[in-house]
Structure 1
Amino acid sequence: MARTNRVLIALTSHDKLGDTGNPTGYYVSEAAHPWQVFRLAGYEVDYVSVKGGNPPTSGYDADDEVQRLFLESEGARLAVTPKAAELDAADYDAIFYAGGHGTMWDFPTDADLAELGRDIYENGGVVAAVCHGPAGLVPLVLSDGTPLVAGKDITGFTNSEEEAAGATHIVPFLLQTKLEELGARYHLAPDFTSNVVRDGRLVTGQNPASATGTAQGVLAALKG
């Protein structure tokens, strides 16, 4: 594929943590730290969200300089994100599904986002996801009808981590279990430690600690 030097970060639009009444959204560090990796490597970063507009945030750490810089410098663009149907896969070298519990509700049901990811991958691009971001891989089916993750080495938020987070009975499904049911070979590290798995042009990270490494894995995959 002809390189565009553009990477797309996908963000959830879901803002409620099940029936708990607690807010959720995309986990800021899982967008901010990859953004930092990509921009320092010379890539232009764009954003997409399920509903468009300004996606909800969660887990913001004001003591993290990268997160502060991300929201300050990208805030105007984040406020007007497009929906997947408004974008062209040919414009991007990679798509990066950021996590946050919100993804568990809306990534799996966004057919346009799944189609965008499929087209980027089938154009020779990279598909990446971190933490709960692999919820975006659940509906991603290749043109031959095969789930992208089938037979692939991947990782993502684990059942053990979901239990530790107290959300096992809140989320609509367990991410690890669902991806394993789709044929993925799921690789686990100890809870909340960095773990990045690359299988060709599919790169996944287990948790927030894996966000930077997952983005670095995208760069490696783009180099072949």
Structure 2
Amino acid sequence: MGGKQSKRRERTIAIVCTSADSMDGHATGAWLEEIATPYYALLDAGFAVDVVSVKGGKVPIDSASESGDFFTADCQKFYDDEDAKKALANAKALKGVKSGHYAGIYLAGGHGTCVDFLNNATLTRVIEETLAADKPVAADCHGPVALLACKKPNGDSILKGTNATCFTDAEETAVGLAEKVPVLLETEFKKLGAQFNGAADWTPNAVTDGKLVTGQNPASSKACVDAFLALLKK
């Protein structure tokens, strides 16, 4: 039995999602593409996936990610997939997550993360323990807000001197939410000493530094999970 559990841990990834459906009065949630794209990329690569959310239960989805060009082929596939829909409706609670149970952690974005990923002590612990165990962590778009509280073993910010990216201040302004978010991610990354690698608005962009992968925006979801998979295969 122990051998089976160990093998599963080596081949299982936690996709961590927000449980927040509003931010300063603005209806939001998780961004569907940022869950669906890594979900299928990981399954196709032979990994099992646990969908996790801060509170557990149903993951709220930002309605903007269910419309127009934002609703990608992976999004449609996800909504046509009974197993995927069940996982999204019955996410595991973050409080029950132990980093040792997973081969890596993937943080999906959406503005909801600005509410419950920010300064979340449990999520901070999971990220720090995963990296300390030399396992990869990926965070896309607003998912990197969880990194702001994370520390290196020497007490420095995990972002100090680290090549990284996230949803840029220009992109936040473009979507009209610069005054709603609790922090501007790019600004905070730079304050914490990150070597910030931003691309033009809405351009796919993922950055790897050690075992940490960061993606800039929803369009970066494929680049982000591909870089994450490259680390998992090392």
- Matched residue of 1:67: which SS? helix
Question: 2:13·2:103 contact (CA, 8 Å) conserved in 1?
Answer: yes
Instruction: Report the Cα distance in structure 2 between the residues aligned to 1:142 and 1:187, rounded to whole angstroms.
Output: 20
Q: Give the C-alpha shift of residue 92 in structure 1.
A: 1.0
**151, 158, 161: which one pairs with 2:171?**
161
- Matched residue of 1:197: which SS? strand
**1, 14, 30: which one pairs with 2:34?**
30
| Higher relative helix content | 2
**57, 81, 86: which one pairs with 2:61?**
57
Q: Please list every run of 5 or more consecutive structure 2 residues that lacks an aligned counterpart in the other structure.
A: 1-6
Instruction: Report the Cα distance in structure 2 between the residues aligned to 1:79 and 1:34, rounded to whole angstroms.
Output: 17
- Counting aligned pairs with the same residue, the percent is 37
Question: 2:23·2:114 contact (CA, 8 Å) conserved in 1?
Answer: no
- Matched residue of 2:23: which SS? coil
Deviation digits for residues 50-95 of structure 1 (CA, Å, limit 9, x no counterpart): 1111121011248533112223331112222222220221111111
**122, 126, 142: which one pairs with 2:136?**
126
Instruction: Report the Cα distance in structure 2 between the residues aligned to 1:61 and 1:43, rounded to whole angstroms.
Output: 29
Question: 2:14·2:106 contact (CA, 8 Å) conserved in 1?
Answer: yes
Instruction: Report the Cα distance in structure 1 between the residues aligned to 2:18 and 2:48, rounded to whole angstroms.
Output: 20
Q: Does residue 98 of the first structure (1) align with residue 122 of the second (2)?
A: no
**70, 74, 82: which one pairs with 1:66?**
74
Give the residue type in structure 2 aligned to 1:124: D
Deviation digits for residues 121-177 of structure 1 (CA, Å, limit 9, x no counterpart): 111100111111101111222343222222100001000100111111111110111
Q: Structure 2 length normalisation: TM-score? A: 0.89
Q: Give the RMSD, CA atoms, in angstroms.
A: 1.8
Q: Structure 1 length normalisation: TM-score? A: 0.93
Moved >4 Å (runs of 4+): none
Find the counterpart in structure 1 of residue 96 from structure 2. 86
- Matched residue of 2:118: which SS? helix
- Matched residue of 1:27: which SS? coil
Find the counterpart in structure 1 of residue 14 from structure 2. 8
Count of matched residue pairs: 222
